[in-house]
Structure formats: C-alpha cells, structure tokens
Structure 1
Amino acid sequence: MRNVPILFLLLIVSLPLFAQRQDSISLDPVPTDLLEDFLQNSGAESGDFDLNGQFDLLATFQKRPLNINRCDEADLRELGLLNDIQINNLLQYRKIAGPLLALYELQVIPGFDLAFIRRIIPYLTTGGDLDDFQASILEMVGDGRNEVQMRWSRVLEKQAGYANPESDQSYLGDPNQLFVRWRHTYYNRLSFGITAEKDRGEAFFKGNNRQGFDFYSAHFFLNNYRKKLKSLALGDFNASFGQGLILFSGFSTGKSAASTLVKRNARNLRPYASANEANYLRGAGISYALSDKFEATAFYSSRLRDGNVNGVDTLDEEVASFSSFIDAGFHRTIREIEDKNSVRQNMSGLSLQYHSGAYRLGLNSVYHRFDRALTLNPQPYNRYYFQGQSLLNTSVDYSARWGNLNAFGETAWSDNGAIATMNGLLVTLDRKMDAALVYRRYPRNFQALGAAAFGETDGGRNEEGVYMGLEIRPRTGWTVNAYYDVWRHPWLRFQVDAPSRGTEWRLRLTYEKRRRMRAFVELRQENKEENAFGNETPYNVLTPTRLVQLRTYISNQVSKALELRTRADWGYWDDGVGAREFGFAVLQDVIVQPIGFPLSFNTRFALFDTDSYNVRFYYYENDLLNTFSIPPYYNRGSRVYLNLRYRPVSALTIEARFAQTFWSNQTEIGTGLELINGPRKTQLSAQIKYVF
C-alpha cells in the first residue's frame, strides 16, 4: 500500500499530546551477548522472541521496585536480571543475616559486584509495602497503564516476488510490513491486549485477508490474585514446565558468555503479546495454590497451525496427513496460503508442584493431539522422530538448595518408552568464583514436540553431553567467563550421515570501570563432525570441522549524552578437505542521547569480509523500541543504520530507522521471490508508541 507512510503520519497527529503516566525508558532486559550467542549457536539468521513482556515488566519494576527483603525465589527469577547463583546466594544471606538495610549491602554477597549492583538498583528496594493482593480487577483496569504501538517497515529495492503481480508465483500483497498492538497492564498483576501483524507480501483487506491483518492475537492474564490464584491465562499464552524436556515456549538462551546461566526459570504460565505466529498456545490456563506447599497448573490449547500437507483422501476430501509444521508465518503466495491453518493441534498440560523452603519437586504431563496424522518423508536421520496423531509426555523435575549449592534437573518419558534426563549443579566455590555443571542424555528415540532443553541441538533428542562453566571475579571490575562442552550424537542428523561428536570451549575476559567503560576479549572454538561434501566416494563420510573466532569489544561513555562502542572480530572455518576460510568484521557505534532534548539517535557503520557463510558473524543491532535484530554479517561489504527517536512529551515516542547492507562481491541478493538485482538491500522502518 503506497499510502501506509501517510497513514502513520495521520495517526501521529490524531494522538493526544498528554498522558496520565510517564512512559518507560528504553530498556535492554536480555543481555545482547546472550542474544548473539544464542542465535550463533542455533544457526538461525532471524527470529521473533516475545521480549515485549520482559520490557514491560522491567518498566513496571522501575516504577514500583521489588522489595528485596520480602520477595521470594519466583519473584527474583521473574525480574530477569539475576542468575541462579546470585539468587541462591541472596536467599542464603537473607536467611542467615536477616533483612538488608540498604541495597549496597549486596556487595558482601558473593556474585554481586558494585558495577552489577548499580545496574539493578533502579528495580529494587529494601522497604515499602508491595502487598496489593486485595486490589480488585476493576481497580487494576481503572488504574493500569495503556500502551498503543504501531510499526511500519519495508525493503526499498524491488524484489522478484513483486515484479509480476499477475503471476500465480508472485506475492499477493504489497511490500509493507505492519504491526499494531494495544496492551493494558497493571504492574505485573494484570495484562490484556490485542496484537495484529501483516508480513511483507501478504494481502491487506483483500484476497485471503479481507478481515485486514494476516495474524491476530489477544490475551488476558491475571497474576497473583487473592494469593491463591497464582496465574490465570485466557486467549494466547506461553507455558513452560521444568527444564524444558517436554515443554518450554518463549525465549530461552543456550550456551553463552554467561557461562553459569544454564538453568531454565520461566513461570509455568506467561502472557503472550508477540507477533510470532508459531510459538504460542491458544486457550486457557490456570495456576492455583492448593496449600502453602502445593501448587497445580493446568492448561488446554486448541489452535490451527500451518503444515505441509501430503495428499487428499478422495473419500471424504480431507487432507489425509501432513509431513511437517511450517513456523515461518508467511502467507504471501498461493502455495503458502494453501498450507495456512491446515492442521489443528490440541494440547493439554498438568503440573503439580511441591515446594518447601529450598526444595521443589514437580510432576508434569503434556498431551498432544492432531486432527490428522504427522507422516514424515522417510529419511535415515528422522527414523526415530515422532509420527502419528497423538503423543503423551510426562516428567519429574526438581530443584534443591544446600548452602551455596543448587542442584536441579528433569527426567522425562515419552509414550514410546524412551527416557531423557538432564541434571545440573550450580555452586559458589568462593566469593569470587562460581561454577556450573550439566549432564544431559537425550536418547535418539525420545519424542517431545514442545522440548527446548539445554544442549547443542534443538528438540531434546539424539544427544549426550557434559557442560562445565566457570565465572571468576579476581578483582573489582574484572570478570573471567569460561566453559567447555563435550557431546556426542548416537544417531544420524540432518547432513550428518553417521553418529558424530563435538566439543566447544569459550574464554572471555571482561573489564568494567563503573558505568563509563566496558571492554572484553573473547576466544571461542567449536569442533563438529559433518558430511564431507565433494569427496570421491559414492557415499558421504564425516570430516571434523573447526570454527575459531576472536572477538574484541570496548564501549566508552564519553559524556552523559555520548557513548562510543567499537568492535572487531576475526575468525576462520576449516573442514580439513578444502582451503581454510577466513573472515573479519569491524564495527563502530555512536549513541547520542542529549539531556533535556527530545531528539536522540544511534548509528552504526560496519565493514566485513568473509570467505563464505561458514565464517559469518552475528551482531546485535539497536532497533526500534521493544524490538531487536541480529543479522549475520558475511561475504564482503558494509552495513550502516541510523535510528532516530523523538519524544515531544513523555507519553509519545516517534521513531524512524534506516538500514542498508552493501555487498561489493555480489550482483544479486537473496533467492527465489526474495531476489534483488543489485548489491544493496535497504530497509526503512517507523514506529509510534503512545502510553496513557
């Protein structure tokens, strides 16, 4: 739609210029290092994680700080700023020494240095009565915070999918991407709202989307209501049990520079307000305190999902089976529309939790049922994957604290008889040293459709390994993070036609001087066995591959209004067959936030040169509020972006973004309908956020 930018301008001027509440500042709840590392280890180039809830939650705690003397373990986890070792040490200190008199008293607790304390102080307090369990729903609705967020984005270059709109192989919609969200929150107690999104190339108020947007989502979520009702979710929500062996939805990190962050800590139920069209449940869920020590969580979900259909049963003209789910959420072409909502997935879950002080034990069960059978295209590597119409998983998870020790784990069973387990240990060896140990064993025939457990691969199957992590704080401002992971895959994997092994290690040295300067240098190496393509034998053989990356980073807060960030990476990839492939990248970020002036901006200029995609580098990019992007930098070229943010009043934020990548060694970008004839790809984005 050519008039979309004009529509956004009209929306700006139509909004009131004053609000009842102050808007939250820009927050970064998930460390950028974790985001980069997670995507780098998963091999994903892009993703849509539901970070909006964490942004809003931190904004809540900033206005109404968490009482560190009265909160429990679940509250500290929900804050999302402390790792498990810090939480364990804090609770142990509070048990022995009693309530903290001031937040800076945290310095005497192992794992809390002055730089970290300064970062978390805005969200914590040592006093005040935060008990508002008696507030009614009507009071929470009337005294809550409303947020309207509207976003527009498009690629400026002409792509193949829009070149011939009359063709059946082209995109059926325009190249504009639209996002609208309204959300009402009352601190972390109540949340409800509506989200709508249209992807680039999807029809809008025409064709298969005469109702407007391609994706709609709505939720109602109540938390800690009247003490007994822990959570109530209606509409779209996320659910997670245990350590993720049978169910974990939402954002979760894998191996990262935070070497002791290995434990899953999500609440059983959480509200969902993202535009991701795959990773959510739709129905109802409830968590209820049966007594002081027992809590039960139950949910039911029924939703339509996109799937690759296998054929049509001529007797009842119904799709007989499907070969896989399609999680991209795109409905731009006739073929993609045919696969839309082709499979109904029903899910139900039940979790019984016992907790007594430092001990917690849970019994969990999840049942999946499809309206037609999942029938995979037979390949040697997927021989033990789930196929059929129904699947039942059960598990037992636990967590226990003894002094400076925290043991945790989960053992799960799938209804084909396979048993998977993961067990971990977090320990404070010294006030300056923390350690983590994780053992996992996921058999090749273990089946769990909602698994996202800690490990090298997704799905919680076909893997056995041991992870060892260490964090050392030798002196003020200095931190050493290191881990070593060794694993094996007892069965074949995609493009790995034999059982294989791998190892990975990482060492990072970080120096931070108050909040003015932060620098680190990191060395990482990953060894894997993969197919040796191009060999002269009639079958694939495995070859050991090695990826080595050296990273350096320094940020300097020149003044209250100016911050400079510089980064340089170098690496190589080697498979022992072809020539070794090298790559490097250099980045410069400039962040300007004038004090007392409504206009701020940040910009980046990057140069990169890699021999292939194998030596790619992932970098977190500052983006529009409540969004982020982590594109891979590879081949030879440059990238630049500029973000502008204008806040005429505290309630209104107007943003614009320009981003362009130039590849000097390419004449085409992308493939298929995403193909661009030329060396550049340019994206424009705009967003309005209004709080009242």
Structure 2
Amino acid sequence: MMRYLRTTTFILFLFLSCATVAAQGQRPWETLLEELTAQDDNDIAVASDMYDILIDLEENPININTATRDDLGRIPFLSAQQIEDIEAYVYQYKGMKSVGELSMIESLDPTRRYLLTYFIYIGDYGAKEHFPHLADIVRHGRNELTATGNIPFYDREGDKTGKYRGPKYRHGIRYEFTYGKYVQAGILGAQDAGEPFFADKNGMGYDHYAYYLVVRGLGRLKTMAVGQYKLRMGMGLVVNNDFGFGKMMTLSSLGRSTNSIRANTSRSAAKYMQGAAATVSVGKGLDATAFVSYRPIDATLDTLGNIRTIVTSGYHRTTTELRKKNNAHETTVGGNIHWEGGGFHLGATAVYTRFDRSLKPDTQRLYRRYAPMGNGFVNASVDYGYINHRIAVNGETAVGNSHGIATINSISFVATRTLSLLAMQRFYSKRYSSLLASSFSDGGHIQNESGIYIGGYWQATRHLSLLFYTDYAYFAQARYQVSAASHSWDNNITATWTTKGWTVVGRYHLKMSQKDNADHTALADVTTQRGRLSVGYATKRWNAKVQGDMAYSNYKKRSTGYMGSATGAYDFGVVRLAATFGYFRTDDYASRIYSYERGPLYSFSFPSYYGRGIRYAVFARADISKALMVIAKVGTTDYFDRNHISTGQQMIAASSQTDMELQLRWKF
C-alpha cells in the first residue's frame, strides 16, 4: 500500500511540476549523444567514451579562427570533409566574425552547426599562437575540484553478509588544472560500492587512481602525455583504447581516420595506458608518434600461474575479486608515422605488447579456439586515404604474429548540401588478434568477421532530417552462444523533425541474427525490433519531452516490451530543477528498454529496464557562484512484479531501490 501511495504522490508532483518546472535541461549535445546511441550495449559503451571528451571540450572550447586540423580532430562528431571545409573557409575569409557563418559551410548539416557552438568560440584571427610562459600558466590556469558520491537507501546481499569488503557507498574525487588547450593535468580517485577503502589491497585509499599531464602546441611537440592516457591510431585495428566506432556514431563522423593522444579522465580501471606518449612534427605534413606503457591488469590465473582471462570489469568488492586485482602486468611499446599532403594521407603503426605471465585461455571452447596465446604479441598496420570537400576515402590494413589479417575501408561522399553517404567494408580473419584494437564491428571483436555497411544522412527539408544505415555481417567460425558459422543483418532509420522549439524524433531498429537453439543442436534465427517516438518542446528557460519506446524479440520465445516516459526542466538562473517519470512493462530481459537519464557531471547513465515497474527521479543544480556548483539527484525504481531485485551478492531484498547522488564542484 505504501508503494502505491508513494507512486501516486510522485505522479501528482510530476504533473504539477511539468506545468512550471522540469529537469535541468540536458545539454543539447547530450540529447544528440542520446539519439546517436542505437539502443544496444555496444553503442552505449561508445557513447560513454565520447561523453568524457565532450565534457572536456565544453569546459575548454576551441577558437575556431586559430584551430588546427588536430584541434578540430578532437571534436568526435565532425567528419573529415567537415574539418577540411572549416579550415578552408577560415583561411579564405580570414576568420569568422560570428557563429552564424557556420551556415555557409556546405558540408555542415544543421545539427552539427548547432552542436559546434558549444565547443568553439569566435576569437581573433591571424594572431600567432605561442605556448605560454610558465608564469602565465601558473597565474592564469584554472583549478577545478569535484567530489561525487552515491548514497543507496538499501543494502545488497553482499553488504549484509559481509562478502563485500567495503562500505556500500560509491564515491570519487577529481582535481584538474587546465590552461586553455595547452596544459591539462589532474588526478582522480574512484571507488565502487562494496570496495574496501583504506583497507585490504586499497591501503592507499581509493580502489582506482588516474593521474595525467597533457601538453599541446609546444613548438614541434604537438602533443605529449605523461601518466595515464588514451591512444587512437588510424581506424583502430592495432591500437585504440579511446572512443570506438558505433554504428550510429560512424555516420556522424563518416568513417573518419584519426590519430590522437588524450588524458585518461575516466573512473574506469580498464582501457588506458600508463607511461608516456608524444607526437612530434618532423617535417611539413609529417608527424611521428611514440608511446610506452607499463601497467597492472586484473586477471584470472590457472593453477600454474598463467593468465586464463583478462578481467576488465574493475570491480574489487569480494575476496575473489580482490584476488584478481593487479596480479599481472602489461608492457606496451609502439609508434606511428603519419604523412599528409594534397588531400592524401598515409601512416604506419607498430605495437609490441608483453605480459609478465603467459596468456593461456581455454581454447577447448569453440568460441575461444583462435584466442591469443603466449607472452608477446606484435601488430603492425598501414592506414591510408584521400580527402577533399566531396569525397573521403579511409582505410587500414593490419597483420600480427598470429598470422591473420584485418582490413577496414570506407568511402564517404557529400552528394549535395543535404545528402551524405557512407559505405564501409571490413574483413577480420579468424586468426587475427590485437589486444589493444577497437574498431567498427558487429560482434564487438576485431576477429572472425566480415561485412558491409551502408548509411547516410539526408536533410530532406528545412525541418526534416533522416539518418539511416544497413549492415550485413558474416562470422565464419563459432562465437559465444553461436556454435557454427552465422550471420546478422542490422538496420536502423531515425527521422528528426524540428521547428520553432519543437523536436519530434522517430526511430526504428531491426536486427536479424543467429544463436544456438535451446538444445544446442542447431542455430535459431533471432529477430530484435526496437522503436522510439519522442516529442519535445524547449524555450530558453524550460523544456519538456514525452517519449515512447517499444521492443520485440523472438529468441527461444516471443518477448515484447514498452516504456512511456516524461521529462521536463526549468532554469531559474541560480537554480535549475528537473524531474523525470517512466512506466515500463516487458516480458523479460530480451525485450529490455534503454532510457537515458541525466546525472551529475562526468556520469553518463543509460540504464536498461525490464519486468514491470516505474522509474522516477528529481534533479537539482545550484550555481551558487561562478566558483561553486552543487548537484543533487534522487531516483527510485519501483518494480511491481517481484519482491527482490537482482541475484547473488547484488540482490536487494525489496521491490524498490532508491539512490541519492551528490556532487560538489569548486573552481579556483
């Protein structure tokens, strides 16, 4: 009875608040990031990686009138043609006088023109930029200290039994010093719920620390990183632990190939390098990059001390999980040389990775038959391409000591001011393996896959745009839960209509694939369909949106689900308030619904819901001064079809869970 009373009270509150209030408006680029997430786990992981990059760019925007190709390349949603056209326009017209001039650049669609205004500013043109003096850096640099905590109003089974070795609170602290685009330095500590704090293997306090120093534009030294950093070379077939290539995201960048070094500002304990990396200009159009990394990794060991599996979850809550922490080490050295001129670009990358223990996975399992084995691994690749204001051709071909080959090639074409098309081919041999690779794929691995992807963006009218793709993939060998050769066909179309503050988005996603049947005697066809329709309205002070999602799956049995949600936001100036409410009903996990939810800074949340229940949350942000900001969020998920949530040590012996998130940021 109390649950339904609480629910009714909140619905009444939401109805009243939406008339005058609603959640602090999402940053417009967050809304786009949500829409570019194709409602599956792979693309959500990609979006999470991009979120950190965009947060940093928003805090440190780029002067469009002095931006280099490398500067513009840090903006992940720009295509190669768009970067080329922006540079050409600024050069031809001696800079921009206002952001309105972005509409003069033919390849920039309305969405990206609008988005760019959050990551650039109109500065002086022609002034030569020089690396600042140390005194100026110290005197005028910006300091930022952020503390974040999550308070759960419930206990998990691991908390009650003592299996979790630490408190139930998730928290972290981050300090960062920046000076424009030139200097970025910081340290952060992160703690997941249940992990020991100043105890066990965490005697230094937090479970995970990240520290970094990045310097840009120091003469011929284009970029240097010391500490923890992320690296991306070419199209990611050899090394890429930065943001990846989701199917929707690929359309936004039109298959761009790029080299980048950036700080690891993530609280995740996986996907980073630790050591030093630098890119140096050695001649006109010629850059050289070198990197070295030595870092501990989590691993499951066999009885002989060999690495059975590399663990990337980052959780260290129980004795078993703590036993896997930092019990192996990874050394990586490598380099890249890159040339560009006359629209052409050519590069070569080589990487050597070695573990202090031998990697010996269980190759008796069919899907691990060609998994990498041994202590040392070598990979090398050549990346290539040509770019002009209409066409961009990019590709990379890689080999390794596993005697396999991988290649990916794309061509994008700006057919008209309103139509852009992209075609991409990939072939990843069953024998190819690279421990640091991350590129475009359907199966999530750069191995045992070949396919063709075709997509496009069409600004059909002034108000209507269409984003669409189709992707076919073939897997010659067994995969996880697929014991024979298989294939998949993935399709998506998203239509967006905007006018006078209104935004209507419709999406349909259809994927046909194969998995083992219930008896594991043959492959069964799997069809998954997802749809979305949202209607939003925004003014300078407030916005509101209603959204409906549906899902259908037929694997082993028919499963359907839907979710209806409403959000709203009002900006009072100093204080911004927010509220969201959603009702979901699905048959099981197969028809789960993904729904983005705004959280504190540096927190990208895209949870999934299944079963039957409601989700509601209230968000508040107060900018007490230019220096001090406070965020508070309280959210509850009520389930109507169960008396406990989750299983094992994560189980909550109740039908609802409520969390409070608090964040304090101080700039000085």
TM-score relative to the length of structure 1:
0.88
Who is 1:37 aligned against? 37
* 139-148 or 28-37, larger mean C-alpha shift: 28-37
> What is the aligned counterpart of 1:217 among 183, 205, 210?
210
Please tell me the residue identity of whatever aligns with 1:686: L
Who is 1:60 aligned against? 60
Contact 2:515–2:524 (CA under 8 A) maintained in structure 1? yes
Please tell me the residue identity of whatever aligns with 1:662: D
| Alpha-carbon distance change, 400 to 88 in structure 1, aligned in 2, over 3 angstroms | same
Matched, 1:234 2:234: no
> What is the aligned counterpart of 2:161 among 138, 142, 164?
164
Q: CA deviation at 1:230?
A: 0.8
Matched, 1:204 2:182: no
Who is 1:562 aligned against? 542
| Alpha-carbon distance change, 416 to 146 in structure 1, aligned in 2, over 3 angstroms | same
Contact 2:372–2:402 (CA under 8 A) maintained in structure 1? no
Contact 2:29–2:115 (CA under 8 A) maintained in structure 1? no
| Alpha-carbon distance change, 126 to 183 in structure 1, aligned in 2, over 3 angstroms | closer
Please tell me the residue identity of whatever aligns with 1:242: G
Who is 1:3 aligned against? none
Who is 2:6 aligned against? none
Q: Which runs of 5+ in 2 are unaligned?
A: 1-24
Who is 2:139 aligned against? 142
Counterpart secondary structure, 1:624: coil
d(CA) in 2 for partners of 1:643, 1:546: 37
In the comparison of the two structures, how many residue pairs are matched? 642
d(CA) in 2 for partners of 1:255, 1:34: 13
d(CA) in 1 for partners of 2:43, 2:380: 29
Who is 1:344 aligned against? 329
| Alpha-carbon distance change, 618 to 45 in structure 1, aligned in 2, over 3 angstroms | farther
Q: Identity over the aligned pairs, expressed in percent?
A: 23
Contact 1:510–1:518 (CA under 8 A) maintained in structure 2? yes
Who is 1:480 aligned against? 466
Contact 1:448–1:459 (CA under 8 A) maintained in structure 2? no
> What is the aligned counterpart of 1:470 among 453, 456, 463?
456
Contact 2:37–2:47 (CA under 8 A) maintained in structure 1? no
d(CA) in 1 for partners of 2:46, 2:651: 18
Contact 1:322–1:372 (CA under 8 A) maintained in structure 2? yes
| Alpha-carbon distance change, 178 to 659 in structure 1, aligned in 2, over 3 angstroms | same
Please tell me the residue identity of whatever aligns with 2:551: G
Please tell me the residue identity of whatever aligns with 2:177: H
Matched, 1:553 2:545: no
Who is 1:151 aligned against? 148
Please tell me the residue identity of whatever aligns with 2:358: A
Contact 2:257–2:394 (CA under 8 A) maintained in structure 1? no
Who is 2:4 aligned against? none
Q: Deviations over 1:84-110 (max 9, x none)?
A: 343344456567777556543332433
* 323-332 or 208-217, larger mean C-alpha shift: 208-217
d(CA) in 2 for partners of 1:47, 1:26: 15
Contact 1:33–1:256 (CA under 8 A) maintained in structure 2? no
Please tell me the residue identity of whatever aligns with 1:236: Q
Q: CA deviation at 1:128?
A: 3.4
Who is 2:117 aligned against? 121
d(CA) in 2 for partners of 1:126, 1:321: 56
Q: CA deviation at 1:207?
A: 3.2
Contact 1:238–1:250 (CA under 8 A) maintained in structure 2? yes
d(CA) in 2 for partners of 1:100, 1:45: 36
Q: CA deviation at 1:31?
A: 5.2
Q: CA deviation at 1:484?
A: 0.8
d(CA) in 2 for partners of 1:664, 1:26: 29
Please tell me the residue identity of whatever aligns with 1:239: L
Who is 1:270 aligned against? 262
Q: Deviations over 1:406-446 (max 9, x none)?
A: 00010000112211100001111111110001000011111
Matches within 5 A, 1:243-254: 243-254=235-246
| Alpha-carbon distance change, 102 to 171 in structure 1, aligned in 2, over 3 angstroms | closer
Q: Deviations over 1:37-69 (max 9, x none)?
A: 2661528789963743431222211xxx5234x
Matched, 1:304 2:296: yes
Q: Deviations over 1:430-487 (max 9, x none)?
A: 1111000100001111111111111112221111000001111122121011111111
Contact 2:391–2:413 (CA under 8 A) maintained in structure 1? yes
d(CA) in 1 for partners of 2:409, 2:85: 20
Who is 1:4 aligned against? none
Who is 2:559 aligned against? 581
Please tell me the residue identity of whatever aligns with 1:685: E
Matches within 5 A, 1:119-518: 119-121=115-117, 123-125=120-122, 127-129=124-126, 131-165=128-162, 170-226=163-219, 228-256=220-248, 259-265=251-257, 267-312=259-304, 320-378=305-363, 379-513=365-499, 516-518=501-503
Who is 1:17 aligned against? none
Please tell me the residue identity of whatever aligns with 2:72: L
Who is 1:10 aligned against? none
Contact 2:331–2:354 (CA under 8 A) maintained in structure 1? yes
* 249-258 or 229-238, larger mean C-alpha shift: 249-258
Contact 2:131–2:182 (CA under 8 A) maintained in structure 1? no
d(CA) in 2 for partners of 1:138, 1:237: 26
Q: Deviations over 1:583-633 (max 9, x none)?
A: 111010011111x3x221111100011111111121211101232211002
d(CA) in 1 for partners of 2:169, 2:48: 18
Contact 1:45–1:631 (CA under 8 A) maintained in structure 2? no
Contact 1:570–1:585 (CA under 8 A) maintained in structure 2? yes
d(CA) in 2 for partners of 1:335, 1:130: 58
Q: Deviations over 1:306-327 (max 9, x none)?
A: 1001124xxxxxxx30111111
Contact 1:647–1:653 (CA under 8 A) maintained in structure 2? yes
Please tell me the residue identity of whatever aligns with 2:566: Q
Who is 1:84 aligned against? 80
Matches within 5 A, 1:40-51: 40-42=40-42, 49=49, 51=51
Q: CA deviation at 1:305?
A: 0.6
d(CA) in 1 for partners of 2:165, 2:212: 29
| Alpha-carbon distance change, 38 to 281 in structure 1, aligned in 2, over 3 angstroms | farther
* 490-499 or 678-687, larger mean C-alpha shift: 678-687
d(CA) in 1 for partners of 2:641, 2:402: 51
Matched, 1:107 2:103: yes
d(CA) in 2 for partners of 1:251, 1:299: 18
- Alpha-carbon RMSD across the aligned residues, in angstroms, is 2.3
Q: CA deviation at 1:518?
A: 1.3
d(CA) in 2 for partners of 1:118, 1:554: 19
Matched, 1:663 2:639: yes
| Alpha-carbon distance change, 117 to 400 in structure 1, aligned in 2, over 3 angstroms | same
Q: CA deviation at 1:368?
A: 0.5
Contact 2:43–2:246 (CA under 8 A) maintained in structure 1? no
Contact 2:495–2:505 (CA under 8 A) maintained in structure 1? yes
